[in-house]
Every structure is written in structure tokens, then in C-alpha cells.
């Protein structure tokens, strides 16, 4: 039984794993760091942060190739992966088992959140000039409604969790961490990274509030 090359399913699964970090995880980190500048007010946010992004070379290509397509593949293949889950959370009350479940559930939550989030910012901005020209004002208007703030907060925390936990299991999948001690240690490193990223994200959300 010899295979000429690695199995395509294996490669797809590894591609799914890799895309979660590169570019999606890097993008999320950048995105939250960018938006944490909301605390400097509308002038800085619209004039510096958004203007810089909108002036980027090859912007539409970058948006599609670096963000949209990897996200769509990661989400689509992630849904396929999630169908294999038969979690028994009450029988096996171990932290990793809960994280395993939450990784899949958060993935579905993030997908729903992102459809709404991208829809009411990037897509809505395509035809509504006010969204495009004053994104800060638009976000302030959105986040001033408590339920919308709750939605964004949930989407943010789910995304950050999904990235941090995904990073820790990526260590096992790719063979960076093998011993139980290394896996635990790296798990704490990822948790620390997640907490830091969540703080930056929440800081950014609060910065939009009047």
C-alpha cells in the first residue's frame, strides 16, 4: 500500500488548520489592534485608521484573497469537521473536552456573527456613503444599542477564544507540542495571548461609545 503523495484530505485538514492562523488569526489580531484606536475619537479613526486601510495598494484583491477566501474555506471546511463531533460533556467533564466542544460551537457562532458584522459594515458601506465616510459614527450608532453591543462583545470573545484555543491545538496537530507538559504550558501561553487580545478588543469596542 503506497501513496504517491500525501492524502488530499490530510492536506485539506492541514490547510484548514494553517489558514486559521495565517492569515485569519493574524488578520484578527491586526483588526482588533486597529480598532483599539477608536478611543482617539472620530477624527483620528476616520482620518487615519480607516483612511490608511482604504488607501492600501491592491485593496480589493487583498480583501478577497487574504481575508474573504481563507475565511470562507476555513468556515466551510470547519462545518464539515464539526459534523464529526459527538461530544459527551457531562460524561467526560474534562477541560479539554469542553474546549473541543466550544471550539466547534464558537466556530458556528462566529460564522453567524461575521455574516452580520461584514454585512452591516463592509457590505452596507458599498452603497451607503455615510457608512463609508464616517465609519466611526456608524459604529457608534450601532454599539450604542445595548443588544448590538452584546452581539459584538459575544462575537469578539468567541473569535478570540476560537483563535487562542485553535492555536493551542495547532501545536499538537503540527507536532510542535508533544508531551503533556508542553501541551499544558503552550495552552497557558495561548490563554494569555487570548486574554490580551480580548482586552484589546473590548477596549476597542468601548472606544466607540459616546
| Site residues, another protein (CB under 8 A) | 1-7, 9-11, 13-14, 81, 84-88, 91-92, 94, 96-97, 99-101, 103-104, 169, 171-180, 182-183
Identify whether the C-beta of residue 18 lies closer than 8 Å to the C-beta of residue 171.
Answer: no
Nearer to another protein, 9 or 147 (CB): 9
Burial class of residue 35, CB neighbours in 10 A (0-12, 13-18, 19+): buried
Q: d(Cα 173, Cα 13) in Å, to the nearest integer?
A: 10
Beta carbon of residue 180, minimum distance to another protein (angstroms, whole number): 6
Least distance in angstroms from the C-beta of 173 to another protein: 5
Nearer to another protein by Cβ, of 84 and 146: the residue is: 84
Q: Which of 199, 183, 202, 176 is nearest to 21 (CA)?
A: 176
CB of residue 66 to another protein, shortest distance in Å: 23
CB of 68 to another protein, least distance (A): 25
b/e code 169-178 from CB counts within 10 Å (16+ = b): bbbeeeeebe
Nearer to another protein by Cβ, of 175 and 210: the residue is 175
The alpha carbon of 125 is separated from its chain's Cα centroid by a whole number of angstroms, namely 21
Residue among 172 and 202 whose Cβ is closer to another protein:
172
Amino acid at each position: 500500500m503506497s501513496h504517491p503523495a500525501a492524502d488530499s484530505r490530510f492536506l485539506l485538514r492541514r490547510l484548514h488548520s494553517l489558514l486559521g492562523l495565517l492569515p485569519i488569526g493574524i488578520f484578527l489580531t491586526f483588526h482588533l489592534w486597529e480598532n483599539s484606536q477608536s478611543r482617539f475619537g472620530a477624527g483620528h479613526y476616520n482620518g487615519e485608521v480607516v483612511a490608511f486601510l482604504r488607501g492600501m495598494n491592491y485593496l480589493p484583491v487583498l480583501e478577497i484573497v487574504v481575508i474573504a477566501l481563507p475565511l470562507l474555506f476555513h468556515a466551510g471546511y470547519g462545518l464539515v469537521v464539526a459534523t464529526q463531533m459527538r461530544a459527551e460533556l457531562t460524561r467526560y467533564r474534562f477541560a479539554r473536552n469542553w474546549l473541543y466542544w466550544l471550539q466547534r460551537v464558537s466556530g458556528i457562532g462566529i460564522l453567524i456573527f461575521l455574516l452580520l458584522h461584514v454585512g452591516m459594515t463592509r457590505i452596507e458601506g458599498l452603497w451607503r456613503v455615510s457608512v463609508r465616510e464616517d465609519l466611526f459614527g456608524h459604529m457608534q450608532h450601532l454599539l450604542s444599542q445595548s443588544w448590538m453591543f452584546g452581539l459584538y462583545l459575544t462575537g469578539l470573545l468567541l473569535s478570540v477564544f476560537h483563535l487562542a484555543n485553535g492555536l493551542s491545538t495547532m501545536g499538537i496537530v503540527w507536532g510542535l507540542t508533544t508531551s503533556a507538559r508542553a501541551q499544558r504550558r503552550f495552552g497557558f501561553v495561548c490563554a494569555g495571548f487570548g486574554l490580551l487580545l480580548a482586552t484589546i478588543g473590548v477596549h476597542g469596542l468601548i472606544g466607540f461609545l459616546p
